Amino acid sequence: MYAVTDPATAEVVETYPTATDSQVVAAVDTAHTAAVWGRSSTVAERAALLRRLGDLHAEHQDELAASIVREMGKPLAEAEGEVGFCTEIYHYYADHAEEFLADEPLDVTSGAGSAVIRRSPVGVLLGIMPWNFPAYQVARFAAPNLAIGNTIVLKHAPQCPATAALLEKLFAEAGFPTGAYVNVYATNEQVADVIADPRVQGVSLTGSERAGSAVAEIAGRHLKKVVLELGGSDPFVVLSTDDLDAVVDSAVAARLDNTGQACNAAKRFVVVESLYEEFVDKFGARLLAGETGAPLSSVAAAENLARQVDAAVAEGATLHSTGRREGAHFPAGVLTGLTTEDTAARQELFGPVAMVFKAADEDDAVRIANDTPYGLGSYVFTTDPAQAARVADRIEAGMVFVNGVGAEGAELPFGGIKRSGFGRELGRPGIEEFVNKKLIRTVA
């Protein structure tokens, strides 16, 4: 089940044994035992470990990046950037943990005395991670929760076992005690048992809608909190510009991030009528020219995208592309002629294919942008500051980026609404998800 398969050749180059039931139980046992460390250590001590972990990511950047490329085909420069972002995340929480977890005094108006909110760990958490950002997804879950003092059982994607093992090694080298971070090569059935374990206090999953729904159902049955970061079909709304070439460059970057395999990548491009034709011409040419040559994560991923594109064309869309699929390699393309009624318009296309929609005006652009089951991120380009503020307020999404792409940061919360999930990671909100906000009221 856990295997490193070269996406470019479909060759299985390394396999890892799936955990036995006893090994999965032992992983939870170890994490539960380490919860004593989480409750007894100081925030400063845990912050120091996070800083060292960030340093180790920088020191092992080449090794981590090579592992990511080998497992899921990411362009090397992007893999190196992913590892660098991990360093920023671990250092961010090292810098701010004491501030975020400090006692919060409350104004008492119900009588004499004082009151504070004290933030403390809840215990063992289960993390279920995807393949598309093998190191970054772990960092944004692990960093805030280890800062709190929670301990982690981590189930990585089956196609990323080598990166999973390397990350566990770095946590240990950083000085985290045994059990603070435990990697386990579990099956879906074993994961269900871990969620049901009364010692496990919460679950964070980044992945598909289907996986999120299944995990949320099990967690709800056992009264466990979940954070879900699922799919997205983010709109890229172009309303006005005095430099269309720059907007097109941003659009290409937003679509080709991770070869188009990012939940918050721009996927639906909504352009006002006055700019539509010129945008389509320039965007199509630059998107095709901007291909990285990297494969998608697997042959299966490419086959699924091909089915979606073929279905869109069958419904009346026009595909602008000059390449053809070979194994996991999928050519960049632009779909035009779509309406919000088409099936593809309501799906997530995971790969270097963009959908472009013509909007009559601002209201129509907002309508098209919001006519989706997803609500993760979004992008708005306009030269009118008042319009930018107005449209950003009307967009139904967890994140809106105005006149820029690639503007994520460790300090900025990440998450969505609707079928894109719920809860937030990163920033201060990311440390508030799995924490006991204990009231301590002193009357006299």
333 neighbors 308 (Cβ within 8 angstroms)? no
* C-alpha closest to that of 34 among 164, 182, 154: 182
DSSP at 73: -
Mapping DSSP to helix (H, G, I), strand (E, B) and coil, where does residue 48 land?
Answer: helix
Does residue 229 carry a catalytic annotation? yes
279 neighbors 248 (Cβ within 8 angstroms)? yes
CA distances from 332 to 177, 337, 338, 417, 437 (A): 46, 17, 17, 28, 48
Could you give phi then psi for residue 141, rounded to 5 degrees? -85, -45
What helix, strand, coil percent values describe the chain, rounded to 5?
A: 45, 20, 35
Q: Is the dihedral of CA 239, 244, 246, 251 positive or negative?
A: positive
* Residue 44 CB neighbour total at 10 angstroms: 10
135 neighbors 69 (Cβ within 8 angstroms)? no
- Spot the catalytic one: 78, 82, 168, 229: 229
How is residue 141 written in tokens?
A: 């879950």
In what order do the strands lie in the sheet containing 200-206? 181-183, 151-155, 124-128, 200-206, 225-229, 421-422
319 neighbors 333 (Cβ within 8 angstroms)? yes
- CA dist 409 and 210 (Å) reads 28
Largest Cα separation within the chain, whole Å, is 77
Looking at the DSSP bridge assignments, the partners of residue 441 are 115
- Spot the catalytic one: 71, 160, 263, 425: 263
Does residue 86 carry a catalytic annotation? no
CA distances from 321 to 72, 235, 252, 288 (A): 24, 21, 14, 7
* C-alpha closest to that of 126 among 264, 24, 4: 24
Distance, CA of 17 to chain centre? 27
- CA dist 133 and 207 (Å) reads 11
Enumerate residues 6+ apart whose C-beta is below 8 A from 256.
287, 290, 291, 292, 332, 352
> Which are the catalytic amino acids?
229, 263
